[in-house]
Amino acid sequence: MDIETWMRGYETAWRSNDGDDIGALFTDDAEYRTEPWTPPWHGRDEIVRRWIERADDPGGWTFSWHVAGVDAGTATAFVQGETRYGELAITYSNLWVIRFADDGRAASFTEWWMDQAHASEETEPTV
């Protein structure tokens, strides 16, 4: 599992919104969840189609990220990121969970995104 290469490919696809760039990231039967509790997009063709339908303006965002953890036993990477949409003045904290197939493509992708402008006012967790 080469997370660095996959992430560079993801950023390339995000900038280009090109179907070939997007499709190269995912297995034929991959699942892509834009939120953990929503139904996934099933298969590479649907992932490409839905991605392009929701495409971001290539110059309208910046993204920084780091690997937060890896579960080698399940070929799963946890990526923490920050996305800034300059024109919209919105910043999101991101957490991505990516399960890789043996060939290095994603078999499963789930993202959490939190709008930093709507941060919880709670300072300590409640039990």
**Right CATH number for 3-118 from 3.10.450.50, 2.30.42.10, 3.30.830.10, 3.40.50.12280?**
3.10.450.50
Spans of all domains in the chain: 3-118
Whether residue 99 has pLDDT greater than 80? yes
Q: Work out the mean pLDDT of the chain and round it to a whole number.
A: 92
Model pLDDT for residues 53-92, shown as the tens digit of each residue:
999 888 889 999 999 999 999 999 999 999 999 877 889 9
Q: Among 82, 58, 56, 54, which residue's Cα sits nearest to residue 68? A: 82
pTM of the model: 0.88
Whether residue 118 has pLDDT greater than 80? no
Q: Among 38, 58, 44, which residue's Cα sits nearest to residue 103? A: 44
Whether residue 127 has pLDDT greater than 70? no
